[in-house]
Amino acid sequence: MKAAPHAQQRLIDLQELDSSLDRLAHRRRTLPELAEIERLEASLTELRDAIVAAETAVGDLDREQRKAEQDVDQVRSRAERDQKRLDSGQVTSAKDLSNIQNEITSLQRRQGDLEEVVLEVMERREEADARVGALRDERAKAQEELTALAARRDEAQRSIDDEAEMTRKARAGVAGDVPDDVLALYEKLRAQFGGVGAAVLHRGSCQGCRLALNTVDLNRIRAAAEDEVVRCEECRRILVRTPESGL
Ligand SMILES: [Zn+2]
């Protein structure tokens, strides 16, 4: 395969631009904002579930409170009814009077106990309410943070995309200077060898695989015509000679 020395140099320029594009794509994929957004979205999902659970608890306690209040009302009306009977003067038997009096006393005790229950449920309801409020605040904060992060991510991506666009334009210009068959080989090698298809031979070492070439290979490259496209025997990448190749 043949390519003028100038075209071979352009292959190295092309490699640098392609490596820049790879680095930009990697940076875009691994923006710290992306991991933070993922973490925040997960915690927002958890918060949503926690809010539903806390709201359900409030609803349950509401029902419990109403039930306890009804119990209090029931006991109170019964005591009132008893009191009216006493006040009416219609009950005359001493035994009945004493029974009614005893019932009123026991109903009052019962009412006191039930009122304690109401107070206790109200306290729990207040706590549950506060929990819903705290969770909603937390969710609002997380959503705000998410919005800010998304904006930062978009800005970072835009700047990467702008840089990539400029790099791609430069790449198109450089690629035009490389013969098609060399370009095709370069692309194939790039796909095969982690994005690096062409490397400089620098002081006897291939900059693609970082290995020093042996004397036989160096002699072979030294003997090759300057428009011959040579390859590294170790990694098979295209090797481009420069004045610093050590030949
Ligand atoms: Zn190599």
What SS3 string covers 45-90? Answer: HHHHHHHHHHHHHHHHHHHHHHHHHHHHHHHHHHHHHHHHHHHHCC
Q: For 61-89, what is the mean pLDDT?
A: 96
**Can you tell me the distance from the alpha carbon of 123 to that of 221, in angstroms, rounded to the nearest whole number?**
88
Residues 134, 125: Cα–Cα separation, whole Å:
14
Residue-averaged pLDDT of the chain: 97
Domain shared by 99 and 55, yes or no? yes
Listed in sequence order, the residues at least 6 apart from 4 whose beta carbon sits closer than 8 Å to its beta carbon are 227
The reported pLDDT for the residue numbered 182 is 97
Looking up tokens 């295209």 gives 238
- Structural domains of the chain, count: 2
User: Residue 242 Cα, ligand 1 centroid: separation in angstroms?
Assistant: 15
In a domain, residue 246? The reply is no
For the chain, the distance separating the N- and C-terminal CA atoms, rounded to the nearest angstrom, is 20
Please return the burial class of 204, using the count of CB atoms within 10 Å of its CB with bins 0-12, 13-18 and 19+.
middle
What local confidence, expressed as pLDDT, does residue 216 receive? 95
**Confidence band (pLDDT; 50, 70, 90) for 98?**
very high
Cα(194) to ligand 1 centroid in Å equals 13
Residue 232 Cα, ligand 1 centroid: separation in angstroms? 5
Spacing, Cα 238 to ligand 1 middle (Å): 8
Q: What is the Å distance from ligand 1's center to 200 Cα?
A: 9
pLDDT of res. 124: 97
Measured between alpha carbons, how far is 107 from 73 in angstroms, rounded to an integer? 11
Domain boundary among 175, 198, 229: 175
CA atoms of 121 and 154, how far apart (whole Å): 49
Q: What are the pLDDT digits (tens) for 209-231?
A: 999 999 999 999 999 999 999 99
Claim to verify: residue 127 and residue 200 sit in the same structural domain: no
State the pLDDT at residue 41. 97
Q: What is the mean pLDDT of residues 140-155?
A: 98
End-of-domain residue from the set 120, 152, 175: 175
| Residue indicated by tokens 């806390």 | 54
Task: Indicate the pLDDT class of residue 87, thresholds 50, 70 and 90.
Answer: very high
Structure tokens at 96: 């009945």
Distance from residue 175's CA to the centre of ligand 1 (Å): 22
Nearest to 118 by CA among 67, 57, 56, 58: 67
**Residue range 160-175: mean pLDDT, rounded:** 98
Q: How far is the CA of 231 from the centre of ligand 1 (A)?
A: 8
CA 236–ligand 1 middle distance (angstroms): 6
pLDDT, residue 97, reads: 94
Answer whether residue 223 is part of any domain: yes
Q: Has residue 247 been placed in a domain?
A: no
Top pLDDT among 191 and 247 is at 191
DSSP state of 237: -
Same domain flag for 106 and 228: no
What pLDDT does 158 receive?
A: 98
| Residue-wise pLDDT tens digits, 8-55 | 999 999 999 999 999 999 999 999 999 999 999 999 999 999 999 999
> Is 158 among the domain residues?
yes
Q: Are 157 and 230 in the same domain?
A: no
If asked whether residues 162 and 64 sit together in one domain, one would say yes
How many A from CA of 166 to the centre of ligand 1?
29
User: Which whole number is the average pLDDT over 144-161?
Assistant: 98
Across the range 43-71, mean pLDDT stands at 97
List CB-based neighbours of ion ligand 1 within 5 Å. Answer: 206, 208-209, 232, 234-235
CA of 182 to the centre of ligand 1 (A): 17
**Segments forming the whole domain that contains residue 86:** 31-175
User: Do 133 and 184 fall within a single domain?
Assistant: no
Task: Give the per-residue pLDDT at 142.
Answer: 97
| Same domain? 74 vs 152 | yes
φ, ψ for residue 227 (rounded to 5)?
-100, 10
Residue 111: band (very low, low, confident or very high) from pLDDT cuts 50, 70, 90: very high
Query: Could you give the maximum distance between any two Cα atoms of the chain, in Å?
Result: 136
Is there a single domain that holds both residue 51 and residue 169?
yes
State which of 175, 201, 222 marks the end of a domain. 175
Please report whether residue 36 resides in a domain: yes
| Whether residue 159 sits in one domain with residue 115 | yes
169 & 54 share domain: yes
Ligand 1 center–CA 36 separation, angstroms: 39
**What is residue 17's predicted lDDT score, i.e. its pLDDT?**
98
CA of 227 to the centre of ligand 1 (A): 19
Q: Please, where are the H alpha helices in the chain? A: 5-29, 32-88, 94-175, 180-192, 215-223
Residue 153 tokens read as 């991510």
pLDDT at site 125: 97
**In this structure, are 161 and 209 located in the same domain?**
no
Q: Sheet harboring 205-206: ordered strands across?
A: 205-206, 198-202, 238-241, 230-231
Q: Look at residue 41 and tell me if it is in a domain.
A: yes
- The reply to whether 133 and 222 lie within a common domain is no
